[in-house]
A and B are shown apart, each in its own frame.
Chain A
Amino acid sequence: MSKSILGLFQQPETAADAMDGLKEAGFELGTFDVLTGTPYPEGAFGEYVPQHRLFRFPAFGAIIGFTLSVFLTSVTQLAYPMVTGGKPILSIFAMLIIMYEMTMLAGVIATVIGIIFESRLPNMQPGIYDTRITEGWIGVVITFDDESKVADAESVLNKAGALEIKHA
């Protein structure tokens, strides 16, 4: 079972130094991460910038929504035809509105699913954490498969100026 430690910092510069130190000490990218209570400009901590596929979700959702809407608007009107105002049974211009709304709805729902999924949520056992992170403290968390490296990591964190180190 993997072990984690969390180093707590009050200044972003010291947290960034810790991240640099971990890289230099040979820790693999992806085994350490930074936790903050507010977003920082990307790359501010020299962290691993995650690749994401979020843009595929709305596209996929829109295709599904569009297909369903074409089905709903055309099949129902053909199954139960009712002439209104002299308009054709399959009135593409009127159908366009429902098709548009359902396409957008499916796109939005898919995007929301995508955001939650790409954020790797829900994660009801998120691991080591400290509530001071949402008060402005910055956490640097390292996960180990090999417990022998814990001491190295602790020394890097202390050298960078960690105010506290928690273990899980």
Chain B
Amino acid sequence: MQQRRELDQVYTNRKLLNGQLDTPKWWLPTVSILGVVVLIGVIVIATMINKGLGVTGLARPVFWGLFITTFVFWVGISHAGIMISAILRLTQAEWRRPVTRAAELLTVFSLLTALVFPLIHAGRPWRIAYWIMPYDVARGIYPNIRSPLIMDPVAISTYLTGSTLFLYIALLPDLGNLRDRTTGWKNAMYTVLSLGWRGNPRQWKMQTVGGILLSALMLPIFVSVHSIVSWDFAIASAVEGWHSTIFAPYFVIGAVHSGVSAVVTMMALMRWLWKWDDFIRPEHFDALARLLIVVATGWLAFTFLELTFALYGQDAPEIALREMQMFQWPWNALFIVFFLTAYAIPVPMWLFKRVRTNIALMFWTSILVNIGMWLERFLIIVPGLARRTPFVYTWEAYRPSAVEWTIFIWSFAWVTFLMLLFSKFFPLVPLFEQKESQVFTDDVMIGRAKIPAIVREAD
């Protein structure tokens, strides 16, 4: 049962704005360390661009390895934002309230990070600028819109733009709040950003109606983005294990699984670091875990279908690939770890309420899920390519180099760094939604029982 807490607005302001009005002690050291890691990553990227892709482990036939796996992983993480924000807003689920902004933020920053990978992956990244304007049309060619590699940036940019604008619109009331709580240059900054927000019924109605409208528009975009990313692989009939019609919904549901798990990780950290025990409560983790059970089981069904229909055609190369993936070293070890971490360990644990309401356990199981989901993408992308050795003169298996691992670690540091920078200037938990929950909830007596209730507006 959802617990109802009476929290007055002054207390809510003070607690949820503590990141902006004060600086927690841990903030500066953490951001500094992350900044150093980010800087190292940038230097390594620059070195790679200077020296060429030969510094990575990529070679025929495995042209897509760690970078593309991580690209798909971050696009997957980005799906949490819209899942939680849009779908739960449209279904009027009360428990979404503390989570929405952090999830939308994770979407924006993980998309920004995901976009970096195809850019640095190109042999001559500086030429990518010519995609935009002006393209090198003197040679009589133009980007081929039939290619999913063109569709990808269009979809991801659409999703990124939409998510950023959605985030900003939903921030407006809190920017007004910050304007009211600050002085000096901060006050000037928030005054400009809040666009003159006052909080009259017209503005609140636009927040509500606009929020629903934007949610309804972002949902189809959210489904399309990871589907288009999946079609990078699915349309290729030449690579075993890729040419399957189920890739689009399979990737989307996998993205929701990994994205919502990432939100759980983030929420646990937010509660511990900013001491938001009154706002991020065990019942939120309980609700998220129940959602995750459904999503994870759906994902498992899709995995089963993908495997079944891979073997359905009784195509010898396809069967050989699956045997390699599941029974040959080192793929078999990766496969076992993937299955254990993505489903077999976390989901049975989440069936118990004691686990669902234990925030530490939820934190660790959500991390396990993301390890598993990263491995899932790796196992989809690399083995199929690795088996194409009869056509090329190579005898070495793909082994990611130190450069690739550094850039992989950089991506996590970069997302966390951006999130912490954001938290210095803008609240991670939407204050007006918290206050709205105080207005829109009540307790009702049914007999002797006090039941929490929700106020629904009349038509």
In the bound complex, how far is the Cα of B214 from the Cα of A104, in angstroms? 10
Q: Given A33-B201, A34-B201, A84-B147, do A54 and B141 touch, yes or no (CB 8 Å)?
A: no
From 170 to 201 in chain B, residues with beta carbon under 8 angstroms from any chain A beta carbon are 172-173, 176-177, 180-181, 191-192, 195-201
In the bound complex, how far is the Cα of B177 from the Cα of A49, in angstroms? 24
In the bound complex, how far is the Cα of B55 from the Cα of A127, in angstroms? 61
Query: CB distance A50 to B201 under 8 Å?
Result: yes
The residue of chain B having its C-beta at the shortest distance from the C-beta of A74 within the complex is: B145
From 81 to 139 in chain B, residues with beta carbon under 8 angstroms from any chain A beta carbon are 137
In the bound complex, how far is the Cα of B205 from the Cα of A34, in angstroms? 13
Q: Is A11 an interface residue (CB 8 A)?
A: no
Query: CB distance B205 to A50 under 8 Å?
Result: yes
Q: B157, B202, B455: which contacts A118 (Cβ < 8 A)?
A: B202
Q: Given A38-B436, A77-B142, do A111 and B200 touch, yes or no (CB 8 Å)?
A: no
Query: CB distance B228 to A97 under 8 Å?
Result: yes
Q: A41, A72, A124, A131: which contacts B180 (Cβ < 8 A)?
A: A131
Cβ of B403: which chain A residues have Cβ within 8 Å of it?
Answer: none
Cβ of B455: which chain A residues have Cβ within 8 Å of it?
Answer: 41
The residue of chain B having its C-beta at the shortest distance from the C-beta of A112 within the complex is: B165
Cβ of B162: which chain A residues have Cβ within 8 Å of it?
Answer: 104-105, 108
Cβ of B145: which chain A residues have Cβ within 8 Å of it?
Answer: 72-73, 76-77, 94-95, 98
In the bound complex, how far is the Cα of B209 from the Cα of A39, in angstroms? 12
Query: CB distance A121 to B8 under 8 Å?
Result: no
In the bound complex, how far is the Cα of B155 from the Cα of A104, in angstroms? 10
Query: CB distance A41 to B205 under 8 Å?
Result: no
Q: Given A52-B209, A116-B195, A135-B9, do A107 and B217 touch, yes or no (CB 8 Å)?
A: yes
The residue of chain B having its C-beta at the shortest distance from the C-beta of A110 within the complex is: B217
Cβ of B207: which chain A residues have Cβ within 8 Å of it?
Answer: 39, 115, 119
Question: Chain B: interface secondary structure?
Answer: helix
Q: Is A165 an interface residue (CB 8 A)?
A: no
Chain A contact residue count (CB 8 A cutoff) = 64
In the bound complex, how far is the Cα of B203 from the Cα of A33, in angstroms? 12
Q: Is B450 an interface residue (CB 8 A)?
A: no
Q: Is A60 an interface residue (CB 8 A)?
A: no
Query: CB distance B457 to A38 under 8 Å?
Result: no
Cβ of B47: which chain A residues have Cβ within 8 Å of it?
Answer: none
Q: Is A158 an interface residue (CB 8 A)?
A: no
Q: Is A114 an interface residue (CB 8 A)?
A: yes
CB distance from A123 to the nearest CB of B (A): 4
Q: Is A91 an interface residue (CB 8 A)?
A: yes
Query: CB distance B205 to A52 under 8 Å?
Result: yes
Cβ of B228: which chain A residues have Cβ within 8 Å of it?
Answer: 97, 101
Cβ of B200: which chain A residues have Cβ within 8 Å of it?
Answer: 33-35
Q: B192, B218, B432, B440: which contacts A37 (Cβ < 8 A)?
A: B432
Q: Is A27 an interface residue (CB 8 A)?
A: no
Q: Given A37-B9, A38-B436, do A108 and B221 touch, yes or no (CB 8 Å)?
A: yes
Q: Is B146 an interface residue (CB 8 A)?
A: yes
Interchain residue pairs with CB less than 8 A apart (7): A34-B200, A38-B435, A39-B432, A45-B201, A109-B165, A134-B181, A136-B9
A residues neighboring B (CB under 8 Å): 33-43, 45, 47-50, 52, 54-55, 58, 72-73, 76-77, 79-80, 82, 84-85, 87, 91, 94-95, 97-98, 100-102, 104-105, 107-109, 111-112, 114-116, 118-127, 129, 131, 133-136
For the A-B complex with A37-B199, A101-B155, A122-B196 known, give 7 more contacts whose Cβ atoms are closer than 8 Å: A58-B217, A94-B146, A101-B228, A104-B220, A104-B221, A105-B158, A115-B206
